[in-house]
Amino acid sequence: MDRNTDCLAADPAGIDRASELLAAGQLVAFPTETVYGLGADARQGAAVARIFEAKGRPRFNPLIVHVADLATAERYGHFDHDALALANAFWPGPLTLVVPIRAEAGLSDLVTAGLGTVGLRVPRGDVAQTLLRRFAGPVAAPSANPSGKISPTRAEHVLDGLAGRIAAVLDGGAAEVGVESTIVGCYDHPRLLRPGGLPIEAIEAALGRSLAHAPPGGTPNAPGQLASHYAPDAALRVGAETAEAGEILIGFGPQASDAAFNLSPSGDLVEAAANLFEMLRQADVLGRPIAVSPIPEHGLGRAINDRLSRAAHPR
């Protein structure tokens, strides 16, 4: 695409325009409560193919389909008892459910990468909700970053990575949650495919039992578990109590008062998740190795640690 990317205000006129562009098979980045998504009409194969082209993404990664509500989601996937319980408890919200696809779903094969399952999500953000209702169709959307780069939590981040490659971005300000949705597979017994913005503890409480975990390194069903999925350009060291010479420290909690950045000076994991990608970007542009303080492994800390360990994986 050799034309400019429009930055649309998240007002009725901007949302109308975004909806028209999607209907015309164009790519539109839009805010959700987790991160910005790069949207295309999930029924139009050529539009979905443009997502992979714009991101430079390996083809075997299936995409999440965004819809306005559970009733719409049920047109595309089969929801068993557990999937219904989770959808009712947490939608709209930062949870993606991977369920068996309906034969008559009418989604592009590229969306599912031929897996026989489909990832469905009902985002909670006002702008995303308004856009999905206005468009009145399924929107396939990975995070709106070039493949292998940090997920965008602001419209400016989207433009940094994809300007000139997509038709438009809807500017809804900073994403509220800041890390991607938690992904749960409901095609046999409920299985954690990716930790994310909805804490696992909340999901297990709603199910009344433990989630099965995907084997380390991912399975063919979760190809998104590629090792270095969320990487800054700089080398990254996790679990760092202090910075070594030359390193930039991204701290967490009151004990990291000397750090160049602090994900949450008060030690709040929700705040830390919201700041994670932005601070990784800010540290990355300084061109020095990055060290990150230990993050507790509970609640949103699990999603944060998952993203950090991927970013730290040698490439």
What residues line the site for ligand TXA (CB under 6 A)?
Answer: 32, 34-35, 37, 61-64, 96, 98, 112, 115, 117-119, 121, 141-143, 180-181, 183, 193-194, 221-224
Q: Is 153 in the site for Mg ion (CB under 5 A)?
A: no
Alpha-carbon distance 157 to 154, whole Å? 5
Contact partner at residue 251 from Mg ion, ligand TXA, none, CB < 5 to 8 Å by partner kind: none
Closer residue to ligand TXA in complex, CB, 28/98:
98
Closer residue to ligand TXA in complex, CB, 178/253:
178
Contact partner at residue 221 from Mg ion, ligand TXA, none, CB < 5 to 8 Å by partner kind: ligand TXA
User: Within a 10 A sphere around the Cβ of 9, how many other Cβ atoms?
Assistant: 12
User: Within a 10 A sphere around the Cβ of 31, how many other Cβ atoms?
Assistant: 29
Contacts of 104 (CB under 8 A, 6+ apart): none
- Neighbouring C-alpha atoms within 13 Å toward the C-beta of 287: 0
Closest distance to Mg ion from the beta carbon of 177 (Å): 14
Contact partner at residue 199 from ligand TXA, Mg ion, none, CB < 5 to 8 Å by partner kind: none
Place of tokens 């015309």: 24
DSSP state of 243: P
182 neighbors 96 (Cβ within 8 angstroms): yes
Q: Give the residue at shortest CB distance from Mg ion.
A: 143
Angle between helices 200-207 and 81-90 (to 10 degrees): 130
**Binding-site member from 143, 181, 275, 293 for Mg ion (CB under 5 A):** 143
Classify the C-alpha dihedral 48-106-91-305 as positive or negative: negative
Q: Give the residue at shortest CB distance from ligand TXA.
A: 224
- Neighbouring C-alpha atoms within 13 Å toward the C-beta of 193: 28
Closest distance to Mg ion from the beta carbon of 172 (Å): 18
Closer residue to Mg ion in complex, CB, 112/143:
143
Closest distance to Mg ion from the beta carbon of 310 (Å): 10
User: Under the rule (CB under 5 A), what is the footprint of Mg ion?
Assistant: 143
